[in-house]
Amino acid sequence: MLYDYLLLDHKSKEPLYAQLYGKIKAAVEKGHLAAGEKLPSIRHLSESLRVSRTTVETAYQQLCVEGYIQSSPQRGYFVQEAVHTSGHKPGVIPQITDEPGPKVRYNFGSDWVDSAHTDSKLWKKHVRQVLNRQEAIASYGEHQGETALREALAAYSHSARGVAASPGQIVIGAGTQPLLYLLCGLLKPEERRVAMEAPGFQQAEQVFADCSIPVRFLPQDQDGVTIRELEASMAKVLLVSPSNRLQIIPMARRVQLLQWAERTGGILVEDDYNGELRYRARPVPAMQGMASERVVYLGSFSKLLLPSVRIGYMVLPEPLLKRYRKRAARYNQTASKIEQLALADYIREGRLEKQLRRLRKLYAVKSTRLTETLRQMFGPLIDLSLQETSLRLLVTVKNGMDSRELVQRARTYGVRLQEARNREGCVVLGFAGIPVEEMAPAVARLKEAWLV
């Protein structure tokens, strides 16, 4: 019986999951567990050993990583051929290394999504259908973006985000950065003074720097950028993300910002990245729908579809639209025509709305699970802040390490995460890409990395 080898010492300083990992590993290497043999389920083993499911799950995950056992969906965990390794003691999770740097086993990056929950089969189907339309793929695309997609986006963005836009106002591009470059080219000399919320948005900052446009970073109160700071900056363009913050910009402050734009002739650039993905409450309508003549609206689909599908869109108010139309024929379209047409069909069939409903449920589960796991393993040693539509947690670790050291220590244990800008001792854990079942073992690695 497996339990003969699983006598755990609850008084030992060695973590229970590490003891369990070492016992099962040794049983496999000595032949006490044969290749192909099924292990008890996580629930069954946790009850039998009187330990938490997280303990068993963490041990099983490490054994899977090292090739001792294999997880089979809907079936369970099975022993693989014995793998004889040397160099680390049983029960100690080794440092994962791989030239030129440590190998990533658990990815808390914000630049990917959980492939198990993407609509990839359906997306491939729509792409294949477009590829079979010879007349559609044998020509260059429209400069402003395919009409079919702009029509679908006008209807979708109005119903999902309250955006007031005709297809003629929408410009398609390969993500936010190319669209911002285009916008910078439309600004008059007296308008080339930009402000944005601190700590800023690096990709946008790079665009403005490339276009020789100075940027002023504005401090915020609990409601966002204050009108006093905005007016003092003498900016003519304000880049703001009303929904993509720890706390959304309330309606009263939104009205003040719109009044500033109307009074000064300023332009609000509303970056609505993932605005429709709010899952703890109903999404707040876009500012653009409140005053469409003063707001440039930016939207994208990286977390709704796949990050590799580089399609974003920009809604231009009439004054900027007139400037754009004068030069539109001189701009090449940066987004794939094939993907644009596939996305148009995907939206028209209601697939995007269904995917959105699925993802809201998924990200609600993921954020709750990650928050609970972090608090369970670290307790008062961390402070957490949820950035809901960014799909990430800000974690302040009170162990004396700075942000860079926290990231580097995590990486040596195979966990990828990011530093939080302008927040000492704080890191960013994105949860869009990491599977739910990997969260506990990943956090266990962080605990080993940081509590030294």
Domains and CATH numbers, the chain: 2-79 (1.10.10.10), 106-110+354-450 (3.90.1150.10), 136-349 (3.40.640.10)
pLDDT of residue 189: 93
Rounded to an integer, what distance in angstroms lies between the CA atom of residue 315 and that of residue 270? 10
Hey, how many other C-beta atoms are within 10 angstroms of the C-beta on 29? 15
Rounded to an integer, what distance in angstroms lies between the CA atom of residue 117 and that of residue 348? 21
Residue 95 confidence class, pLDDT cut points 50, 70, 90: very low
pLDDT of residue 160: 75
Comparing 346 with 389, the larger pLDDT belongs to: 346
Query: Is the pLDDT confidence value at 301 over 90?
Result: no
Comparing 437 with 275, the larger pLDDT belongs to: 437
Residue 401 confidence class, pLDDT cut points 50, 70, 90: very high
pLDDT of residue 96: 38
The answer to whether 60 and 69 are in contact (CB under 8 A) is yes
pLDDT of residue 244: 64
CA dihedral for 72, 75, 76, 79, sign (positive or negative): negative
The answer to whether 309 and 346 are in contact (CB under 8 A) is no
pLDDT of residue 86: 41
Residue 97 confidence class, pLDDT cut points 50, 70, 90: very low
Residue 61 confidence class, pLDDT cut points 50, 70, 90: confident
- Three-state SS string over 198-260 comes to CCCCHHHHHHHHHCCCCEEEECEECCEECHHHHHHHCCCEEEECCCCCCCCCCHHHHHHHHHH
Comparing 236 with 433, the larger pLDDT belongs to: 236
CA dihedral for 360, 418, 224, 287, sign (positive or negative): negative
Give buried/exposed letters for 45-56 (b at 16+ CB in 10 A, else e): bbeebebeebbb
With tokens 């709010």, the residue in question is 278
> Helical H runs in 292-350?
318-327, 337-348
Residue whose C-alpha is closest to residue 207's, from 224, 197, 194, 218 = 194
Rounded to an integer, what distance in angstroms lies between the CA atom of residue 39 and that of residue 79? 7
pTM, whole model, 2 decimals? Answer: 0.70
Q: What is the pLDDT of residues 302-345, one digit of tens each?
A: 777 777 788 999 999 999 999 999 999 999 999 999 999 999 99
Q: What is the pLDDT of residues 241-262, one digit of tens each?
A: 876 665 678 888 889 999 999 9
Comparing 313 with 359, the larger pLDDT belongs to: 313
pLDDT of residue 92: 39
pLDDT of residue 338: 94
Residue whose C-alpha is closest to residue 285's, from 149, 164, 151 = 164
Rounded to an integer, what distance in angstroms lies between the CA atom of residue 419 and that of residue 424? 9
Rounded to an integer, what distance in angstroms lies between the CA atom of residue 40 and that of residue 2? 9
**Long-range CB pairs of 419-423, under 8 A, 24+ apart, other chains included:** 420/394, 421/199, 421/200, 421/202, 422/198, 422/199, 423/199, 423/394, 423/396
pLDDT of residue 452: 63
pLDDT of residue 263: 93
Q: What is the pLDDT of residues 24-53, one digit of tens each?
A: 888 888 777 888 888 899 988 888 888 888
Rounded to an integer, what distance in angstroms lies between the CA atom of residue 364 and that of residue 367? 5
